[in-house]
Structure 1
């Protein structure tokens, strides 16, 4: 098939390669424009942009699609059989959705209709879901409301992180979209019940509230690492928390350091041990190494 591919982050890259390897003609790749990044603010290509250039595929980076008639005309003139969309980052106007013969298909990282929206992977872990997955959806003008062509689930365990789930779903979505293009399954409307929305994350979502139970904080750390990152404060210094382990129940004021292993009291008489931690200007490190450079006495209060 002659297709357009529309994606931006790492999540979309496996699908781009899978479609190429399956023999499809990827006539154009749409991705977000290069953005300033790093201390030098040099322009950085998106992961999809870099992959497309490696494959020698034409790349288009419009700043916007709405009210961009020149881009819409170009897209329509290509006579694509289908467009594949994976975390592109721009809303597609109806004219673009309707232009390819088979429309636009979206690789969405949840079991729709649960977790429509911007952060389905993190939201599933935060909520304590026991299952996530990928849905291949026929796109319409709504927010992830289109009919479903394929849906496959994967378990979320007590050690699942946003990184591990992201990588698993990216690989799964790549395989599924190739299968959908080959098999042409019948589209099924999404159920009307069970709809939830995954809001766009902010850095403040990573702030740890030590009055929450240890289980809730553990999910927060696993869901929000590496971005926006779970964090706490100590004397106005921000400390990022990269990994924790739930400990036996302990009764103390939430946020209090309980021992020399960096066990911290949480809400509802629970506790967790900080396993990975990062001070400003340093890399993430094991708690043992952190404490050698910055001892933390029993009774220290975090988050105050």
Structure 2
């Protein structure tokens, strides 16, 4: 089929590559505009989807909005059979949703209607969900409210990070979307409306959420860290060279030791076991500002932190 592909981050690249490999004619690729990069923002970097499309010699469009009649006319001019959308980043006007003959189809990384919105992978882990998945839906004007065509469920282990789950779901999305487009081409892709029950929203991760709060139950603290690893990263203030510094925590595990009456954030031993409320977590991998990820043992060799110290 003639397909318009719309996507921006790494997550979407696997689906674009899969559609190309399946023999579809990608007549246009839409992605977010290049963004400032570097410490001073003096250069701009094209998105991962943009770069992948150029590598295949595909036409790339990067409008800041699709609301104008000019942009919508350009979209229709591609004469596409279907639009495929994976993590594009803009809500699509009705004229764009209707701009391809067979409609617009989205690959979403959750079991809708749970976790509609921008950050379903992180939110599922942070909430302690034991399963998630991918759904292919026919898009409408709502936020991830379209009728569902295909679903695949994926288990969430208690040790997986957002980065690891991201990679797994990206591969599932690519496979499921390729299957959906094959069925759509054959005229055999029925859809089922979403349930009105169990709706939750996966808001974009705010910087204020990335600080670790040890005054929460230990499982919540561990899930918070897993859900923000590797980016944007959960962090805690720790004393380094006599002053507090932000240290990212990339991995933590639950331990049997409880905090008891000890203040949340207090180190219970010399192995970075931290009291929570209730329970305790052990910090396993950390990263100093500007440094590389370190095991707890390596971190402590360079930055001794005594038992009893309250961090955070």
Q: Determine the C-alpha separation between the residues in 2 that align with 1:153 and 1:36.
A: 37
Alignment of 1:67-78 (within 5 A): 68-78=68-78
Alignment of 1:187-206 (within 5 A): 187-206=191-210
1:290 corresponds to which residue?
299
Q: Tell me the CA shift for residue 206 of structure 1.
A: 1.2
TM score, norm. by length of structure 1: 0.97
1:281 corresponds to which residue?
290
Q: Is the 8 A contact 1:116 1:143 kept in 2?
A: yes
Mean CA deviation greater in 281-290 or 143-152: 281-290
- Total equivalences in the alignment: 301
3-state SS, counterpart of residue 106 of structure 1:
strand
Q: Determine the C-alpha separation between the residues in 2 that align with 1:72 and 1:172.
A: 31
Q: Tell me the CA shift for residue 101 of structure 1.
A: 0.7
Mean CA deviation greater in 258-267 or 5-14: 258-267
Q: Check if 1:266 corresponds to 2:276.
A: yes
2:254 corresponds to which residue?
246
3-state SS, counterpart of residue 140 of structure 2:
coil
Q: Determine the C-alpha separation between the residues in 2 that align with 1:223 and 1:105.
A: 27
Q: Is the 8 A contact 1:255 1:302 kept in 2?
A: yes
CA-to-partner distance for each residue in 1:5-31, whole Å, 9 max, x for gaps? 000001100000000000000011000
CA-to-partner distance for each residue in 1:50-86, whole Å, 9 max, x for gaps? 10011110000011112x2211101112211000000
Q: Check if 1:9 corresponds to 2:17.
A: no
Q: Check if 1:118 corresponds to 2:118.
A: yes
Q: Determine the C-alpha separation between the residues in 2 that align with 1:50 and 1:290.
A: 37
Structure 1, unaligned runs of 5 or more: none
Mean CA deviation greater in 165-174 or 200-209: 200-209
Q: Tell me the CA shift for residue 39 of structure 1.
A: 2.1
Structure 2, unaligned runs of 5 or more: none
2:100 corresponds to which residue?
100
3-state SS, counterpart of residue 152 of structure 1:
strand
Q: Determine the C-alpha separation between the residues in 2 that align with 1:277 and 1:206.
A: 14
Q: Tell me the CA shift for residue 281 of structure 1.
A: 2.2
Q: Tell me the CA shift for residue 99 of structure 1.
A: 1.3
2:155 corresponds to which residue?
155
Q: Determine the C-alpha separation between the residues in 1 that align with 2:295 and 2:39.
A: 26
Q: Determine the C-alpha separation between the residues in 1 that align with 2:207 and 2:232.
A: 5
Q: Tell me the CA shift for residue 283 of structure 1.
A: 1.9
Q: Check if 1:300 corresponds to 2:309.
A: yes
1:65 corresponds to which residue?
66
3-state SS, counterpart of residue 62 of structure 1:
coil
Q: Tell me the CA shift for residue 213 of structure 1.
A: 1.3
Mean CA deviation greater in 179-188 or 54-63: 179-188
What RMSD, in angstroms, separates the aligned Cα atoms of the two structures?
1.0
Q: Determine the C-alpha separation between the residues in 2 that align with 1:164 and 1:240.
A: 17
TM score, norm. by length of structure 2: 0.94
Q: Is the 8 A contact 1:203 1:229 kept in 2?
A: no
Q: Is the 8 A contact 1:11 1:166 kept in 2?
A: yes
Q: Determine the C-alpha separation between the residues in 1 that align with 2:281 and 2:177.
A: 40
